[in-house]
Amino acid sequence: MKKIILTTAIFLSALSFQAAKAQISLSINIGSQPEWGPVGYDHADYYYMPDIDAYYDIPAHQYVYVENNVWVHRASLPARYRNYDVYKGYKVVVNERTPWVRNEVYRAKYAGYRGRTSQTIIRDSRDARYANHWNGDRREIRQDKREVRQDRREVRQDRKDLRKDRKDARQDRRHGH
């Protein structure tokens, strides 16, 4: 009876340890943000540009704007925005899937940012994390990715250990231990 209680206690503690360990998540995309993006964000999915009421999809490296009453994704802005300077225009970081679906919300919320040019961009930042942003030195990002891969390996190993503990506990119950 003591073995069953002890085995159950070990099993339950392993479950709680696994649940905490499996929730590790790290998402950094500093290196993929354009040099004209705003500083201060380790992760950004989209930039909303209130001056032109358009978005920039960071992972896809595409602009998202209305053309013929339809939202389109393009590698460059259309001719009607030729006077817009992405380096000077204000950008709002948006981490939401398909933010243009709720464009009225963003347009209203950030209308006061139209015409602002006081935003520091990655190219002009003195922050150390952007120091090698565009010169090909990706050592820190590679290190972060290695650490994430190591964390994932540890989580997989913990899962294997947990499955083995469960299997052992089932065998003990079958054999009356």
Let me know whether 59 and 9 are in one domain: no
Predicted pLDDT at 19: 47
Quote the number of domains for the chain. 2
CA 123-134-91 angle, to 5 degrees, is 40
105 alpha-carbon distance from chain centroid:
22
Cα dihedral sign, 133-137-140-141: positive
Let me know whether 96 and 162 are in one domain: no
Let me know whether 47 and 119 are in one domain: yes
Q: Are 49 and 107 in contact (CB under 8 A)?
A: no
pTM of the model: 0.59
Angle between helices 2-21 and 139-174 (to 10 degrees): 160
Let me know whether 48 and 91 are in one domain: yes
Predicted pLDDT at 26: 45
* 86, amino acid identity: V
* Residue 49 domain flag: yes
What is the full per-residue pLDDT of the chain (177 aa) written as tens digits?
A: 566 665 665 656 665 554 444 444 444 555 578 889 998 888 899 999 999 999 999 999 999 999 999 999 999 999 999 999 999 999 999 999 999 999 999 999 999 999 998 888 888 887 777 666 655 445 556 666 777 788 788 888 888 888 998 888 888 888 876
* Residue 135 domain flag: no
Predicted pLDDT at 134: 52
| Six-digit token string for 23 | 């929730």
DSSP symbol at 119: -
Q: How far apart are CA 125 and CA 34, in angstroms?
A: 13
Which strand (E) or helix (H) includes residue 105?
helix 103-109
